[in-house]
Structure 1
């Protein structure tokens, strides 16, 4: 079992990474501090830097693949995705403050990234026009309820317009049943990303789904 030393070492490692590359992503912020608190919307806390490397292989990603992070915050997963050979990477963020920090993070690290087409969108996930060629979607529990259901329904609609395989990486999958209820999703794997978690709780887990 990992102890406090492991947590300290990982925290120091992440902060050292952020200092080295001149980025800022390691904060927890309540949405009322950002002025965007609303029913069905969560809080900002970044996912692990390693989660995409644990769920995606660079061999399976190519220039025709498109990545979308809903609730991209300060852009940590956008930066991670852009280290893969995606054709386009989108980050959708409702908070103007977090969006501006993400823009600065991308500027500071662009020369180290493989993807040249990074599109940070300051806007609402409910009004974002989801590309019909998106192949990987990331959620870090950014919203729940009708907001999440609407986004999932719109993702499925893109599959109806342009049949393909779509992978969903769902970090802290609070609304996992909504994904399965589409009848289009297959659970590929579940990863544990927390040392201690309450049995039966979605927190501390990452689910990977394939939608067709």
Structure 2
């Protein structure tokens, strides 16, 4: 039933062809990673009405986009910490573990979604012993980026106002510890903010006119 409901949702917004493509990958992905993260979720009840316009409802990144982005990484990237900003139920955290990350962090302001992500990661940790998961329930605008983070995953969890503040947090971490950093950006609506901040686009794709992704890299002040 959950696949059917999600299929109708995608069909309504993006059409039959895209819905069939995404659902096929949903079924395959949920089975491959042994998780259950499909479906939508509402914004937290505690969020003030004035704040709601800055954030979007939970919708998991489709597996095609996620795997395409992770496929662009190199082995040395997996030696750093993966951060999923707006981690939701933990789909990207599970994918990251399967790709070889052993230090994985997720941040989301929904306590309900963070609780689900922790449950998902408990199961994933059994598949990949030695993998460390840290789930933090917090507003990304005030989240302190761990200085071990080398890859950040984004799927437009918030608007440009929050994104600008999050970019500031990223550069605070880069000042504390200068290092290369990659952004795996699904549906990169605010890509220009990262480019203006000094990141460079090194890879991108468009599939069926709807599914999009980009890899952005920061290699230090000289690259800005």
Counterpart CA distance in 2 for 1:35 and 1:15 is 33
Counterpart CA distance in 2 for 1:88 and 1:132 is 12
TM-score, normalised by the number of residues in structure 1: 0.82
Q: Is the 8 A contact 1:136 1:167 kept in 2?
A: yes
- Does the alignment pair 1:191 with 2:191? no
Question: Which residue in 2 is equivalent to 1:38?
Answer: 52
- Does the alignment pair 1:99 with 2:93? no
1:24-58 superposed Cα distances (whole Å, 9 cap, x missing partner)? 211122326x5536232122111122434322346
Aligned residues: 201
* Counterparts in 2 of 1:143 and 1:134: CA distance versus 1, 3 Å: same
Question: Which residue in 2 is equivalent to 1:18?
Answer: 30
Counterpart CA distance in 2 for 1:91 and 1:17 is 20
The 5 Å alignment of 1:107-186 reads 107-113=122-128, 116-182=131-197, 184-186=198-200
> Structure 2 unaligned runs (5+)?
1-14, 220-224
TM-score, normalised by the number of residues in structure 2: 0.78
- Return the structure number with greater helix share: 2
State the SS of the aligned residue for 1:45.
coil
